[in-house]
Amino acid sequence: MDPNAQRGRGNRNPGADAYWQRRFFTLIGGLAVIGLLAWVVSGVASGGKSSNSGSSGPAAAGYTRSAGTPSPAAPVTSAPASPSPSPSASPSPSASPSASATKSASAQASAKASPAQAATAPTACPAADLVLTLVASQGSYGPNVNPSFQLDIVSTSSATCLLDTGAGSLKLVVSHGSAAAYDSAACLSGTKRHVVSLRRGVPVVTSMGWDKHETVNGCSATVMAAAGRTYGAVAQAGGAQSPRVSFKLAAAPASSSTKKATAKSTSGA
């Protein structure tokens, strides 16, 4: 080995090494400071752009900034200031058919319910379910007393039913033997209905009377019923008839003068 070379290496100047070391650390520090300043500046710039992203401008509309470098971003779609009505908000053409369908369904339901309601509504009482009981107030009526009666009407139907008790439908019929003497509805015109509701076993009570005038064909005249006879009366309503009740029209008593004349004639004979 060359002794001069070894001498040169052993005699290397330590000051030169320290100088280059200082230069190296100074360069590294400067680069670090520049990098730090660049990072701070880019952070401030990014923060400013981000805070202004809601305002109108090119950056808000199409770009975002990251680390100071513009890069394309996805377009931002903002809602319109006055949103137009959506199809669901506006009346749909199918709304009317739906309403019509609903009304049609309601009408069909009503139509189906009507027969049931009609079945439960009171109807006319069947004649077979009516029990009529006529009672005379007296067994015999004098010349100045008109026959009067009480009528009880009872329904035996399990359901409530209706009966017309107007003058044209509820009749009192008086007869002498097999001959009809009086019909309360024979000479009436323009009568009104009087419908009553009958429940099973609950009687409806009414009164009837006879003024002793017989019913003449055509109702053109009135004839007093003959006294001293026995008559029968029945009540009729809704196709049903009460049992016959008998009563008598008593004749007027003979006067005292007539009795005396009859006695004298008898004694003289």
Per-residue pLDDT tens digits for 212-222: 999 877 787 78
CA distances in angstroms from 131 to 36, 151, 158, 169, 237, listed in the order given: 118, 10, 14, 16, 10
Grade residue 194 by pLDDT with cuts at 50, 70 and 90.
very high
The confidence score (pLDDT) of residue 118 equals: 53
Name the average pLDDT for the chain: 75
The confidence score (pLDDT) of residue 49 equals: 54
- pTM to 2 decimal places: 0.52
The confidence score (pLDDT) of residue 125 equals: 96
Q: Is residue 204 part of a domain?
A: yes
CB atoms within 10 A of CB 19: 11
Q: Is residue 98 part of a domain?
A: no
Q: Is residue 202 part of a domain?
A: yes
How many separate domains does the chain show? 2
Q: Is residue 33 part of a domain?
A: yes
Q: Is residue 52 part of a domain?
A: yes
Whether 240 and 155 share a structural domain: yes
pLDDT digits (tens, 9 = 90+) for 64-78: 444 444 444 444 444
Report whether pLDDT(89) > 70.
no
Supply the DSSP symbol for 242. Answer: P
Whether 131 and 231 share a structural domain: yes
Whether 133 and 233 share a structural domain: yes
Residue-range definition of the domain harbouring residue 188: 127-249
Measure the CA–CA gap between 242 and 153, rounded to whole angstroms: 9
Whether 146 and 223 share a structural domain: yes
Residue closest to 229 by CA, chosen among 165, 155, 176: 176
CB atoms within 10 A of CB 234: 16
Of 26, 45, 70, which one is at a domain's C-terminal end?
Answer: 70
Supply the DSSP symbol for 87. Answer: T
Q: Is residue 254 part of a domain?
A: no
Of 54, 70, 86, which one is at a domain's C-terminal end?
Answer: 70
Q: Is residue 226 part of a domain?
A: yes
Average pLDDT over residues 30-41: 84
What CATH number is associated with residue 217? 2.60.40.10
The confidence score (pLDDT) of residue 19 equals: 77
Whether 142 and 242 share a structural domain: yes
Whether 243 and 178 share a structural domain: yes
More confident position, 69 or 132: 132
Q: Report which listed range, 76-90, 163-177, 244-258, is most confident.
A: 163-177
Grade residue 45 by pLDDT with cuts at 50, 70 and 90.
low
Q: Is residue 36 part of a domain?
A: yes
